[in-house]
Amino acid sequence: MLGLEDWSMIRELKNSGLTITEISKRLGIDRKTARSAIKNSGPPKYVRKQSISILNDFKNYIHSRLELYNLTSQKIHEELTSQGFKGQYGTVNKYVQKLKAEYKTKAVMRFETIPGEQAQVDWGYFGEFYDHDKKKFIRLCCFVMVLGFSRARFIHFFDGDNTANFLKGHNLAFEYFGGYPREILYDNLKSVVIKRAFKQKDSEFNKEFTAFAGYYGFKPILAAPYRPQTKGKVEITVRYVRDNFFAGEDFNSLKEINNSANSWMYKVNSKIHGSTHEAPLERLKREGLTPIIGCLYDLSRIYYRKVQLDCHFSFKANFYSVPIELAGKEIVVKEVNDTIEIIYREQKVAYHKLEEKYKGIYITSKSHYQEIKLVSERRSKQAWKNKRRERLLKSKSNCSRSEYQKINFNSKQLLQTFEDVQSRDLNIYEELFL
């Protein structure tokens, strides 16, 4: 290719009157080159030949890995080498660093999930809240689940972000949506993963959560560390709940908050969504979630209690009644939402509404009260007869013959009464009151 000096020389010779053939002979160049130089009014420009990068066949893979994980260049190079890449580490590092710089300066491209594919879950912390129903401060937390395709949102507030509340939030969300997706994306929550490893398969998952996910059959996905955009739908929803629902409100109890949250969910899920240009409730009809077969996962907590002789047992600082035949027996107490079920020998024998507002009180059902009252009256009557008999027998030595005969007759009659009572099966009374 001609340099700038050669181009200038050709132009000068042409201006001096030489022909193209003469110029080409004098400079030792091809006539076509000389003619081209004369025709172009500007100096020649160097255009670098486009080379085929050795990375071309692997660029899509690099993009897909960096979309999900913040991997190092060294890690990417090792993965490419195992796939047949022959290039050097420097080539990979230069391209990876360029991509990472673009991720930091550009908005992350939104990707759409297919129907029924994914949901995102996270907790939102709303500070210490005084519950007037429970008469105490609670740690107010909001469970949030967002479906990827329909953008349908579910929220429910709890008094803490423990595993029991976390799993209960899932059950409530599945019930609200009418099913569950094939996979759910989580942050590094202790309710999901106890010890996070570089690879998800090497991480140690919470056993309670693993059993829960296995029951339904959905796949838990751990979000990439330091990549909040991978779970952007749920994080935006948490902020939206804080600013659009909770801010400026004066709630008195957790129950009141959730009642308002139910109305709020219907409102926001009925509005046209800015990204999909459809109402989430309309798209939810096409979400194609996995239906719940059978019943929801049983999250009831099991406790064992000994029934007192007054036919009550202690549970969470209060006392609850059971049928009289269970006095002195060991029972199973099953906590289901805001009620407790009493089970004896695998049979449900009673239930009560869980009392959380007051402490140290007795909760007795009407039927149990009638039974206890009847047995108590019989017991009092029996005790009175026993005392009367003792009094009569002691006084027989201090009375006349006619009085003695009368007392003796009454004593025999009373004794017969006791014999009749004693001839009955008293095992139940012994179990109850002895």
Predicted confidence at residue 172, as pLDDT, reads: 96
What is the arithmetic mean of pLDDT over 242-248? Answer: 88
Domain boundary among 228, 251, 284: 284
| Residue 47 located in a structural domain | no
Q: State how far the alpha carbon of 88 is from the alpha carbons of 31, 75, 255, in Å.
A: 44, 13, 62
Q: In which band, very low, low, confident or very high, does the pLDDT at 87 lie, cut at 50, 70 and 90? A: confident
pLDDT at 431: 43
Q: What is the CATH number of the domain that holds 132?
A: 3.30.420.10
Average pLDDT of the residues in 20-26: 81
Determine the Cα–Cα distance for residues 368 and 161; give it in Å rounded to an integer: 37
% of the chain with per-residue pLDDT over 70: 79
Does 44 fall in a domain?
no
| Residue 268 covered by a domain | yes
Least confident of 96-105, 127-136, 355-364: 96-105
Asked if the structure places residue 290 within a domain, the reply is no
| Percent of the chain at pLDDT exceeding 90 | 32
Domain co-membership, 126 together with 258: yes
pLDDT reported for residue 419 = 40
Integer Cα distance of 20 and 365 in angstroms = 118
Are residues 241 and 154 located together in one domain of the fold?
Answer: yes
Domain count, the chain: 5
Give the pLDDT confidence score for residue 270 in this predicted structure.
95
| Residues 147 and 14 grouped into a single domain | no
Let me know whether 264 and 122 are in one domain.
yes
50 belongs to a structural domain: no
Residue 35 lies in domain: 4-39
Q: How far apart are the first and last CA of the chain?
A: 116
Q: 275-290, pLDDT tens digit by residue?
A: 888 999 999 999 999 9
Same domain for 247 and 124? Answer: yes
| One domain, residues 145 and 216 | yes
In sequence order, which residues have a C-beta less than 8 Å from that of residue 143 and are 6 or more positions away? Answer: 121, 123, 155, 156, 157, 158, 161, 165, 166, 169, 172, 173
Mean pLDDT over each residue of the chain, to the nearest integer: 81
Q: What type of residue is 376?
A: S
Average pLDDT over residues 52-65: 82
Q: Would you say residue 45 lies in a domain?
A: no
Residue 162 lies in a domain: yes
The pLDDT score that the predictor gives to residue 42 is: 60
User: In the prediction, which pLDDT does 309 show?
Assistant: 83
- Does residue 319 sit in helix, strand or coil? strand
Do residues 65 and 195 share a domain? Answer: no
Same domain, 267 and 201: yes
The answer to whether residue 291 is domain-embedded is no
**pLDDT tens, residue by residue, 188-220:** 888 998 887 767 777 888 888 998 999 999 999
Q: Which of 87-96, 121-130, 240-249, 420-429 has the lowest mean pLDDT?
A: 420-429
Claim to verify: residue 196 and residue 250 sit in the same structural domain: yes
The verdict on 359 and 381 lying in the same domain is no
Q: Is residue 134 domain-shared with residue 61, that is, in the same domain?
A: no
pLDDT at 398: 56
Specify whether 125 is located in the same domain as 258: yes
Rounded alpha-carbon distances, angstroms, from residue 273 to 108, 152, 203, 283 = 19, 10, 36, 10
Question: Domain boundary at 342, 364, 386, which?
Answer: 364
Domain boundary among 309, 333, 364: 364
pLDDT of residue 229: 55
How sure is the predictor about 412, in pLDDT bands with cuts at 50, 70 and 90?
Answer: very low
